[in-house]
Amino acid sequence: MSGARPRTRTRRRVTVAPEAHDGGAYHDWEPFCVEPLRPELGDTLQLRVRTRASSGWLVLERHGELVRLPLRGIDGGLEASVGLHASPLRYVFRLPHGYLGSHGLEPVLPRYDRFFHLPAQPTVPEWAVGATVYQIFPDRFRRGSSEPAPASGAWTFDGRPIVARAWGEPPDPRQGQLEIYGGDLWGIVDALDDLQHLGIDVLYLTPIFQADSSHRYDTVDYLRVDPHLGGDAALDALVQGLHGRGMRLVLDGVFNHTGHRHADFRAALADPAAPQREMFTFRPGGDYAAFYDVHTLPKIDYASPLARERFLEGAHAPVRHWLRRGIDGWRLDVAHQIGEGGTARANATLLRTIHRVAREENDEAWVFGELSFDTVPTLRRHTLDGSMHYAGFTHPVMEWLCGSDVYGAPVEVTAADAWHALWDHYAALPLGVRQTMLTLLSSHDIPRALWRLRGDRERLKLAYGVLLTFPGSPSVYYGDDIGLDQANGYDDFRGDPMCRATFPWDRSAWDSELRDHLRLLIGLRRSTAALRRGGLAPLPSADPATGGPAYPPQVLAYRRRYQEDEVWVFAAPEPATVLLPPGHDLLDAGAAVVGECRVHGLALVRPDVPGEAR
């Protein structure tokens, strides 16, 4: 496995007495466990738990009380019928050896926070479940237009002339938002065959609407694709090219703030009596609320009916407009900040509004947010289809593998520490939403994974191995697939703008082995139900036959399951010996494995019997 031959050994089977294996009880978002998977309020549900127990209770919260319903035996477990009276429905299973809730088996009744949370419709779109996403910063990916790229000084941003840069020149931290390289949407259209070959299902683009900066989070016109990116015609061509390949497009919705040159803000700034004044939060003295007090990014005040009409709900609101033009979803910039009065007041209500409006235009729209910290309080309030999974995936995985946090401070995170964070965040999420969280290692806002790993490509392959075998919708940041690093030295800790370098289209500069490795993993994910849409569960760290360790502490290990398909995942930064049940190695053409196996890097094993003890 991962270049080493497995060693088989004779081993005795573990016989587990009925009702003594509750620690292996399992419940997640799959047809066996939840039927129907996407219930409407008022529907009658069948809730099931995989267990060897012969009796138990479904315990659910209803109108402030706990209700106990008897579980009946079925092939493979226990079930109960229940009406969906609220969203989300909160429940646990009472089994002979404890309560099975979201975080596993517990000896005493857990807090509601550790109950399963099942939302009613509208829930996550089917096409987004487990989909592989490719994130692109349009100015830096590829130029396709035959027109000359913008010249230095062609326009200004906040009174400073933009700076034209040659493709391949490293970004300059002193001029980051002024630097224009000339990438456009036509270039993305030209690259669609490459992206399809890699196995990508969805493109997510950072902002593309008319703005003055290179990052375009300072929107000037929400209803116009920036002409320097090819204008509306280029977007139409991109949508057509993607849909013709069975791929989807998600755009960046910057609805927390506008740019300071947006017409509504200019009117509000010029005249305190203007109707647009209420759309922004002005303070005594004429100052105004802005994103992190950056004056070029005035914050929208959704206490204003005009603001809600203009940006979110009106007939010509951008949320509606671009879905009508064919896009498939929105990523909401700083979704946790959207609110009233210069604050995040009414945030959940506003996120529900955006989601509702999007679904009115496209009943399969995928709407996820940038929730940079704890996503659970927001997502349990029936708001969005998911979020960028920084806190629950990016940070624990990268801190474990690189030894520093996202700010560059040294940390000591073990595999057990990483697993604890991964499991805690995953388990707390509502069912269904778990499978559409945007998991990621790099983005336009944080340093590239390869740079944080100080150029260690084997660790990068391992990191992407974890990403592409974990629940959610994994996002590959443009250039990570071919080994794009940052120009700054490894001791000069910087993310933006150094993580926004141009994609090298000279294929001799590509790490083809790395790209082929990602393509293999993406292909396995697409063809393996357990990896694409399965639930997550821990792997026991002890061998039940001997009581000894089943894998060493430096190994991150977990299993994925969907219906009768199960895959065991082992991630080993250093060589390690693990114990395997009879099964097959998915990274070695299905070769048979059993017993002690040497792993260095990633190992994927499909056991012959799902849920079987070692």
d(CA 522, CA 153): 42
Q: In this structure, are strands 202-205 and 248-253 parallel, antiparallel, or unpaired?
A: parallel
d(CA 503, CA 140): 6
Name the β-bridge partners of 583. Answer: 593, 607
Q: Residue 584 class from Cβ within 10 Å (0-12 exposed, 13-18 middle, 19+ buried)? A: middle
142 contacts 152 by C-beta, under 8 angstroms = no
Q: In this structure, are strands 473-477 and 535-538 parallel, antiparallel, or unpaired?
A: unpaired
Kindly state the helix (H) or strand (E) to which residue 417 belongs, with its residue range: helix 415-428
Amino acid identity, position 96: P
d(CA 278, CA 282): 8
**Which value, in Å, is the radius of gyration of the alpha carbons in the chain?**
25
Residue 370 annotated in active site: yes
d(CA 400, CA 500): 24
d(CA 150, CA 249): 26
Going by C-alpha positions, the residue among 168, 178, 187 that lies closest to residue 230 is 187
Residue 333 annotated in active site: yes
351 contacts 383 by C-beta, under 8 angstroms = yes
Catalytic residue among 22, 184, 340, 370: 370
220 contacts 210 by C-beta, under 8 angstroms = yes
Tokens representing residue 596 in the block? 């002690």
Q: Assign 3-class secondary structure to 328-382.
A: CEEEECCHHHCCECCCCECHHHHHHHHHHHHHHHCCCCEEEECCCCCCHHHHCCC
> What is the chain's length?
614
Give me the phi and psi of 554, to 5 degrees please. Answer: -80, 0
Q: What CA–CA distances, in Å, run from 472 to 124, 135, 157, 432?
A: 11, 15, 37, 9
**488: Cβ–Cβ under 8 A, 6 or more apart, which residues?**
170, 173, 451, 494, 498
The dihedral formed by the CA atoms of 302, 308, 313 and 317, expressed in degrees to the nearest 10:
-110
Catalytic residue among 333, 385, 481, 485: 333
Map residue 406 onto helix, strand or coil: coil
328 contacts 365 by C-beta, under 8 angstroms = yes
Going by C-alpha positions, the residue among 341, 371, 335, 376 that lies closest to residue 353 is 335
Tokens representing residue 20 in the block? 């003594």
d(CA 476, CA 230): 24
Active site residues: 333, 370
